[in-house]
Amino acid sequence: MLKLNIKNETSRLRAVILGTVKSNGGVPDLQDCYDPKSIEHVLQGTYPCEEDMILEMDAVANVFKKYNVQVFRPDIIENYNQIFSRDIAFVIDDLFIEANILPDREREYKAIEKVISQINPKKIIVLPKECHVEGGDVIPWNDYLFIGTYSGSDYADYITARTNIDAVIALQELFPLKKVKSFELRKSNTLAKENALHLDCCFQPIGKNKAILHKNGFLVESEYDWLVNFFGKENVFEITKEEMYCMNSNVFSISSEVIISEKKFTRLNIWLRKNGFTVEEVPYAEIAKQEGLLRCSTLPLIRD
């Protein structure tokens, strides 16, 4: 059996589910796109091709191999996008929580059955139907649980609104000892640079006390300010709108010292190294065209 353990984003990684790009299904129809960035690339004829994305994901798999991380992959569904494993489930402490995701994506969850079958059934949580949540909006940070949400009355109008207040309340009830902090995110169906699809598109803790942040991703300035104060201004790397669009906050920590980052994130990678991090650079710009990067395509199961 797998003994799940995820207390935060940066403790030493031991086991992870990494998505797959094999049999990815090619360029989707516009009505099948779930985010404005994918729509943009479909319209421009720059949607990523499978061969390029396979090379990118293989580079990440090789980094995991280098650090002796146990890697699970989903079963392949023919002609289907299975890149973003973070969307379909997430682990907090020793509980495996199935995300209530877009109904079309139910098959993705079934494709990780070989992993789920190794988890104690009592540790698998299915939230009530009215709770919408995806793993990109859920960031465990020791005593805290940070959750991205959107509570506008027009929630249903946004394909980009993925986590609702019902889910925030349910997670607080599930983890009564954690301090749950929710953050209202800026949503747009049409403008990728004005859309924080998930919390990890505009915020991510790194190391032991640092964070990457993008102010415009937050609808409520005081909530953004709370994060700056929590980590300390000197420990925050503020990314620009262009850097958020390229997914600079969506790197992935193997430990509090080692971070996998996109090789074109020049400004971020220099800052990380200046602050003592080992940066494992990989190409991931093609996958990023679908409004997801390294954190989105990984589902950590065990950290020390």
E strand or H helix at 238: strand 236-238
Decide if pLDDT at 269 tops 90: yes
Q: Look at residue 2 and tell me if it is in a domain.
A: no
pLDDT on residue 79 = 87
Tell me which residue of 77, 81, 78, 101 sits closest to 89, measured CA to CA. Answer: 101
* pLDDT > 70 fraction of the chain, expressed in percent and rounded: 91
Decide if pLDDT at 162 tops 80: no
Q: Look at residue 175 and tell me if it is in a domain.
A: yes
Contact 139, 119 (CB under 8 A): no
- Give mean pLDDT, residues 62-87: 94
Decide if pLDDT at 244 tops 70: yes
Q: Which amino acid is at 31?
A: Q
Measured distance CA(195)–CA(202) in Å, rounded: 9
Q: What is the pLDDT of residues 284-299, one digit of tens each?
A: 999 988 778 999 999 9
In this prediction, residue 163 has a pLDDT band, given cuts at 50, 70 and 90, of: confident
Total domains in the chain come to: 1
- Give mean pLDDT, residues 82-97: 94
What is the per-residue burial (b if ≥16 Cβ within 10 Å, else e) of 270-296? Answer: eebeeeebebbebbbbbbbbbbbbbbb
Domain with 270, as residue range(s), is 13-303
- Give mean pLDDT, residues 110-130: 95
Beta bridge partners of 70: 15
Q: What is the pLDDT of residues 190-223, one digit of tens each?
A: 666 666 779 999 999 999 999 999 999 999 999 9
Measured distance CA(282)–CA(262) in Å, rounded: 5
Contact 253, 259 (CB under 8 A): yes
Among 174-178, 231-235, 284-288, name the one with the lowest average pLDDT.
Answer: 284-288
For residue 108, give the CATH number of its domain.
Answer: 3.75.10.10
pLDDT on residue 93 = 98
Decide if pLDDT at 102 tops 90: no
In this prediction, residue 101 has a pLDDT band, given cuts at 50, 70 and 90, of: low
Q: Look at residue 6 and tell me if it is in a domain.
A: no
Decide if pLDDT at 158 tops 70: no
In this prediction, residue 33 has a pLDDT band, given cuts at 50, 70 and 90, of: low
Tell me which residue of 24, 76, 4 sits closest to 299, measured CA to CA. Answer: 4
Q: Look at residue 191 and tell me if it is in a domain.
A: yes
Average pLDDT of the chain, as a whole number: 91
DSSP string, 116-170: HTTS-GGGEEE--TT----GGGEEEETTEEEEEE---TTGGG-TT----HHHHHH
Q: Look at residue 74 and tell me if it is in a domain.
A: yes
Q: Look at residue 3 and tell me if it is in a domain.
A: no
